[in-house]
Amino acid sequence: MDQTGATPTTLSQRSSLLVALRQFFGHHGFLEVETPLLAKEVIPEIHIEPPCTVHDRSKQWLQASPELHMKRLVAAGMPAIYQVTRSFRGNERGPLHNPEFTIVEWYRVGDDMQTGMALLDQLCQTVAKTPPAKRTSYGEAMRTHAAICPHSATVDQLNKRAAELEITLPDGMQKDDRDGFLNLLFALRVQPQIGCDEPEILYHYPASQAALAKVTQCSEGHQVAARFEMIWRGVEVANGYDELTDAAELRRRLNDVNRQREAAGRSSLPIPESLLAAMDQGLPDCSGCALGFDRLAMLAMGLPSLAEARAFGRE
């Protein structure tokens, strides 16, 4: 037994959580699937570095999530699927991060953001015995805990608010990086204060942070992302979308991500042409969600870090 990892008792509890999770999805009509861990394509993201290797003289990437291949399965006609698998993200290590981790990801055709949030909440109540989750818009959370509107504030106003809160900007952060300021204010002033007792699901993130979610309009008239995240005890546990189905719009967003990566001095990543081709053929309306299983297990068992929730915590 690795002394830096979970105890036999903890591993038994973790196994019970996995059994309960699979029973939950089976009860709701989902099929379990398996997709490649290593592929020639990835979904480029600004802040995530998928580890790269060379196989048969060509670069291949360990997948940061199974999203690319699972959406291809949905486009091919599978209506409700889930997966428990390993995901990989370089340069991530700490109490809440590990370069290799267990992810649970699922998609169901016909679901929208509201249905997706409800399913996530029900899963966590069933599997981890959480209280029912509170639901709060991202805008409301930012106004309450950071005293600023994330949808209407200018970058100068965000800069000023960060200074008022005595937040030190990270090295290299640009003064015109609006999303950077939003992420900084959220991470340091909002996230630690939400989901302290019951989990809290935030929704309607800024449209600039839509990633692979649809963009819609909220009741206040702002353009927002149909995206939701669950925070529990100050820890992000899950991230979900009312999935973007427009291949041309996704290509535009991914090309923009690569431009931002290059501007930050990082290499661009291969555009997932196989996914775009599948979306061109027709990705049905659906909601998807990715849940960090190690984090959920850690919180459910009251452990201080991911290392204590894994058989081999620090390799």
pLDDT of 79: 98
Give the CA diameter of the chain.
Answer: 55
pLDDT of 164: 96
pLDDT tens track for 86-142: 999 987 777 888 999 999 999 999 999 999 999 999 999 999 999 999 999 999 999
For residue 291, which of 246, 239, 214, 243 has the smallest C-alpha distance?
A: 239
Q: How far apart are alpha carbons 143 and 153 in whole angstroms? A: 11
* 3-class secondary structure per residue, the chain: CCCCCCCHHHHHHHHHHHHHHHHHHHHCCCEECCCCCEECCCCCCCCCECCEEEECCEEEEECCCCHHHHHHHHHCCCCEEEEEEEEECECCCECCECCEEEEEEEEEECCCHHHHHHHHHHHHHHHHCCCCCEEEEHHHHHHHHHCCCCCCCCHHHHHHHHHHCCCCCCCCCCCCCHHHHHHHHHHHHHHHHCCCCCCEEEEEEEHHHCCCECEEECCCCCEEEEEEEEEECCEEEEEEEEECCCHHHHHHHHHHHHHHHHHCCCCCCCCCHHHHHHHHHHCCCEEEEEEEHHHHHHHHCCCCCHHHHCCCCCC
Q: Nearest 5°: CA angle at 85, between 49 and 301?
A: 100
Q: How far apart are alpha carbons 20 and 26 in whole angstroms? A: 10
Q: How many CB atoms lie within 10 A of CB 228?
A: 26
> Is residue 171 scored above 90 in pLDDT?
no
pLDDT tens track for 174-191: 888 999 999 999 999 999
pLDDT of 4: 66
Report the chain's mean pLDDT, rounded to a whole number.
Answer: 94
pLDDT of 314: 67
Fold category of 8-133+198-309 in CATH: BirA Bifunctional Protein; domain 2 (3.30.930)
